[in-house]
Structure 1
Amino acid sequence: MSDEITSPNTSITRRKFALGLAFASVAGVAAARQPTKSIDLLGDKKLENVIPEKIGRWSFVSNSGLVVPPEDQLARALYSQLLTRTYMDEAGNGIMLLVAQSPTQSGILQIHRPEFCYTAGGYKLSPSTPHSVDIAGRAFPALSISATRDGRTEQIVYWTRIGNHMPTSWRQQRMAVAMDNLRGYIPDAVMVRVSTYGVDRPAALADVDEFIRDLMGSVTPQTQRVLFG
């Protein structure tokens, strides 16, 4: 018989070879697109040096009093910068500022998001909602959330910058990283959280928005890019 007889084992081997070749091709494309350029807007600067201790009508009073992740989580984040400050005006109204920075988007920002650290601290959270801050006529995109524990309510506004992107959801954050990676870039990342205590949500958020605008006006243009994109 001149026709070649193909055994089932031979067919399986050929299929395995084809699959292996396909996987190798995908791996080769991925390797060729490995990001090699870094986007690091903060560079070698320290957050404590670029963010002033006097912002508008508020002055720095303490590094403590803020909700942060558990110690075991923070221990894993020592390679990134974390600034925590409480500011107060002459009337005794306090504003809390947290800035978490990572030179590469490595997930460190996620552990500082209110959904993580406040829940870990026993707070009950409201759903996060879009919050627009009017800065010099520009609608700055952020999110707001309320956190309650032991009869106290903290009104929170926060946002994330990934490279040159300002994502307002987990999905957008992941997409921002993926888009930069495909372009060959490794993006840095910053999360900013501004909050104050108060059950009167509109009044509390008005103070928070004022602080955010004053923060924008108190830092250099380079630091504005770091914090606000």
Structure 2
Amino acid sequence: MNKNRAISLLLGVLMCSSALAAYVLTPKVKVADQHARIDLETMVPRAFGDWQVDPNAGGNVLPSPDAQATLEKIYDQILTRTYVNSRGEAMMLTITYGSAQTQELKAHRQEVCYAAQGFEIQGLEHPTLPIAGRQVPVTRMFAAKGERKEPVTYWFTMGDQVVLSRTERLLVQVKYAFSGVIPDGMLVRVSNLKRNPQQGYEEQRVFLDQMMSTLNKDATDKLLGIDGHRPDIR
């Protein structure tokens, strides 16, 4: 066998091996199809503690048409509510659910979304918050646009955990790929209109703690990124 033919044969074997590996590692089953259907409207209570939904309230930052189209591609469900308490204070909540969090359908970072709407993003940080007896890594930011000052707390889940960075998201995708499944995911975002960001953040933490504490374990696990029904891929 001459040298050129040997090289051609080796390249052919490598190409076939790569194609086979790509096929084997391409997820074919959605995790979302392995458990009961998620329904955000019924999962999240419309009233708890001193809070109830204000059906006439607005205030949430609306995405641009192109951003909305992207969100609808990423997520199967988008829940947006404004809650008010007996003191007239308002808290804006957005929860989205996507049944297929693939590389092409990346979760939407809120600092990018708000900046696209003309907000100046200040004080971006990644603390860990105690929520319903769990330690949840979140992203916080202070979004400012004219007279509107909006502290924001949010997190993403992919599969069975909260992911903060693109690297973490990629690692989760790889883990699930080896199990042959496509992870689902959520975005949980809460915000209020406060000029003092630290006051706003603390009020958000208390709101989230109260809301999550009213849910059953399955719902809490789902929203906080810990779900015992998912395959063990650690």
Give TM class, smaller chain. 0.7 to 0.9
1:103-118 alignment, distance < 5 Å? 103-106=99-102, 108=105, 110-111=107-108, 113-118=109-114
For 1:128 and 1:27, how far apart are their aligned partners in 2? 42
1:121-136 alignment, distance < 5 Å? 121-136=117-132
The equivalent position to 1:80 in structure 2, one of 76, 83, 88, is 76
Q: Aligned pair 1:160/2:145, yes or no?
A: no
What is the aligned partner in structure 1 of residue 208 from structure 2?
212
Q: Which amino acid aligns with 2:107?
A: Q
The alpha-carbon deviation at position 19 of structure 1 amounts to 2.0
For 2:81 and 2:106, how far apart are their aligned partners in 1? 17
Scaled by the length of structure 2, what TM-score is found?
0.84
What is the aligned partner in structure 1 of residue 142 from structure 2?
146
Q: Which moved more, 1:178-187 or 1:80-89?
A: 178-187
Q: Which amino acid aligns with 2:20?
A: G
What is the aligned partner in structure 2 of residue 20 from structure 1?
12
Note closer, same or farther for the CA distance 1:147–1:104 as it changes in structure 2 (3 Å cut). Answer: same
Q: Aligned pair 1:95/2:95, yes or no?
A: no
Structure 1's unaligned 5+ residue stretches are none
The alpha-carbon deviation at position 42 of structure 1 amounts to 7.0
| Residue-pair matches, total | 220
1:33-48 alignment, distance < 5 Å? 33-40=25-32, 43-48=36-41
For 2:166 and 2:62, how far apart are their aligned partners in 1? 20
Pairwise CA RMSD: 2.3
For 1:165 and 1:31, how far apart are their aligned partners in 2? 26
What is the aligned partner in structure 2 of residue 200 from structure 1?
196
Q: Which amino acid aligns with 2:54?
A: V
Q: Say if 1:141 and 1:166, in contact at 8 Å, map to a contact too.
A: yes
For 1:25 and 1:215, how far apart are their aligned partners in 2? 50
Query: Deviations for 1:192-223, whole angstroms, at most 9, x for unmatched residues?
Result: 00111112122111110001101111222221
SS at match of 2:95: strand
For 1:217 and 1:193, how far apart are their aligned partners in 2? 17
Scaled by the length of structure 1, what TM-score is found?
0.86
Q: Which amino acid aligns with 1:72?
A: D
Q: Which moved more, 1:34-43 or 1:162-171?
A: 34-43
Structure 2's unaligned 5+ residue stretches are 226-234
SS at match of 1:49: helix
SS at match of 1:84: strand
For 1:30 and 1:194, how far apart are their aligned partners in 2? 39
SS at match of 1:209: helix
For 1:120 and 1:152, how far apart are their aligned partners in 2? 15
Q: Which amino acid aligns with 1:199?
A: R
Q: Which moved more, 1:16-25 or 1:84-93?
A: 16-25
Q: Say if 1:68 and 1:117, in contact at 8 Å, map to a contact too.
A: no
SS at match of 1:128: strand
Q: Say if 1:145 and 1:155, in contact at 8 Å, map to a contact too.
A: yes
